[in-house]
């Protein structure tokens, strides 16, 4: 299933994209794409419905964040050996994890805003893992049973903030609009092997990233298990599993985002995103 939330910011409704690509309204079935809907029982209930019995949604509404509530967004650094090499980093012996502020999360096609005083805003296409069942110290063998589905993530970064402002990655990862998610959450019945997905990213039509999840250093099951040792994972939480090579920092010379740029990215079976990049204006969030 492809679960979505559609409509104006703050007024999104739950929806489902059927096999023909038609957006259908789920409001009569669930209140929202929340913890109840993401659990095994909730997903099974939705799966029993014939999509053709659901009302179609006219036009081309905005897609919002596919989940109604994300309590945590946990990111994994240096999880592709070729990306570690292009940034002159060592291949890690254990997963490198850090947090991205949930205030950074936006819809898949919302504008990306370059932060005030930014000089090195960068892109990163990543596979996102959405938790469906509470996970505490789960084994690798049982880890995927706690996953509701997968989605596309653009883990945007401000490299000067990340490396030069005290060496704390969270600073460079958490600006408003730095976490586009979606367009939809694809449940695990459709994505049976998260290590068999091609992912790509383009800026202004130029392809910079062209990777595959089979080359992850730590696979999805290992990541869910490892992270659940250190914190409880809740339904709706997102694990962003790292990016392949081709980020702006790794270009020679480096290339960073500028106002007017267009970012397009996608993952096999999970859809694609498109963001217009614009300059920071004032102190308010305007997406």
User: Of 63, 84, 7, 53, whose CA–CA distance to 182 is shortest?
Assistant: 63
Tell me whether residue 208 is in a domain.
Answer: yes
Tell me whether residue 247 is in a domain.
Answer: yes
- 286 pLDDT band, cuts 50/70/90, is very low
For residue 82, pLDDT over 90 is answered with no
**pLDDT for res 279:** 96
Tell me whether residue 285 is in a domain.
Answer: no
Tell me whether residue 36 is in a domain.
Answer: no
In the chain, the percentage of residues whose pLDDT exceeds 70 is 98
pLDDT single digits (tens) 193-225: 999 999 999 999 999 999 999 999 999 999 999
Q: Please give the tally of structural domains in the chain.
A: 1
pLDDT single digits (tens) 26-74: 999 999 999 999 999 999 999 999 999 999 999 999 999 999 999 999 9
Interval 105-130 mean pLDDT: 97
For residue 284, pLDDT over 60 is answered with no
pTM of the model: 0.95
- CATH code, domain with 160: 3.90.850.10
Its sign, for the CA torsion 141, 124, 172, 185, is negative
Tell me whether residue 31 is in a domain.
Answer: no
Measured in whole angstroms, how far is the alpha carbon of residue 209 from the centre of its chain? 16
Range of the domain at 158: 69-279
User: Of 77, 30, 34, whose CA–CA distance to 54 is shortest?
Assistant: 30
**pLDDT for res 283:** 53
pLDDT single digits (tens) 120-168: 999 999 999 999 999 999 999 999 999 999 999 999 999 999 988 887 7
User: Of 185, 201, 172, 158, whose CA–CA distance to 100 is shortest?
Assistant: 172
Tell me whether residue 3 is in a domain.
Answer: no
Rg, the chain, Cα only = 18
**pLDDT for res 89:** 79
Tell me whether residue 136 is in a domain.
Answer: yes
pLDDT higher at 101 or 284: 101
Tell me whether residue 47 is in a domain.
Answer: no
**pLDDT for res 285:** 47
The answer to whether residues 28 and 62 touch, using CB atoms and an 8 Å cutoff, is no
**pLDDT for res 166:** 83
pLDDT single digits (tens) 251-279: 999 999 999 999 999 999 999 999 999 99
**pLDDT for res 88:** 80
* Average pLDDT value for the chain: 95
SS3 assignment for the chain: CEEEEECCCCCCEEEEECCCCCEEECCCCCCCCCHHHHCHHHHHHHHCCCHHHCCECCCCCCECCCCCCCCCEEEEECCEHHHHHHCCCCCCCCCEEEECCHHHEECCCCCEEECCCCCCEECCEEEEEEECCCECCCCHHHHHHHEEEEEEEECCEEHHHHHHCCCCHHHHHCCCCCEEECCCEEECCCCCCCCCCEEEEEECCEEEEEEEHHHECCCHHHHHHHHHHHCCECCCCEEECCCCCCCHHHCCCCCCCCCCCEEEEEECCCEEEEEEEEECCCCCCCC
């Amino acid at each position: 299933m492809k679960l979505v939330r559609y409509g104006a910011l703050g007024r999104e409704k739950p929806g489902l994209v059927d096999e023909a690509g038609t957006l259908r309204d789920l409001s009569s079935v669930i209140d929202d794409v929340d913890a109840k809907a993401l659990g095994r029982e909730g997903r099974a209930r939705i799966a029993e419905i014939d999509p053709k019995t659901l009302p179609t949604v006219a036009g081309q509404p905005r897609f919002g964040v596919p989940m109604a509530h994300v309590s945590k967004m946990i990111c994994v650094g240096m999880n592709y050996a070729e990306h570690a090499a292009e940034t002159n980093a060592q291949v890690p012996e254990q997963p490198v994890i850090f947090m991205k502020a949930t205030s950074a999360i936006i819809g898949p096609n919302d504008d990306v805003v370059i932060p005030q005083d930014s000089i090195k805003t960068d892109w990163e296409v990543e596979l996102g893992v959405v938790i469906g069942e509470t996970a505490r110290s789960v084994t690798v063998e049982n880890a995927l049973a706690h996953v509701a589905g997968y989605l596309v993530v653009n883990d945007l970064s401000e490299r000067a903030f990340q490396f030069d402002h005290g060496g704390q990655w969270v600073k460079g990862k958490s600006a408003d609009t730095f976490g586009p998610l979606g367009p939809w959450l694809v449940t695990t019945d459709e994505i049976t092997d998260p290590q068999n997905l091609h992912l790509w990213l383009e800026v202004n039509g130029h392809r910079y990233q062209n990777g595959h999840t089979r080359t992850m250093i730590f696979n999805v099951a290992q990541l869910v298990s490892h992270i659940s040792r250190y914190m409880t994972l809740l339904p709706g939480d997102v694990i962003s599993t790292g990016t392949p090579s081709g980020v702006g920092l790794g270009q020679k010379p480096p290339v960073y985002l500028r106002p007017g740029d267009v970012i397009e990215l996608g993952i096999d079976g999970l859809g694609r995103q498109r963001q217009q990049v614009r300059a920071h204006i004032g102190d308010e969030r305007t997406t």
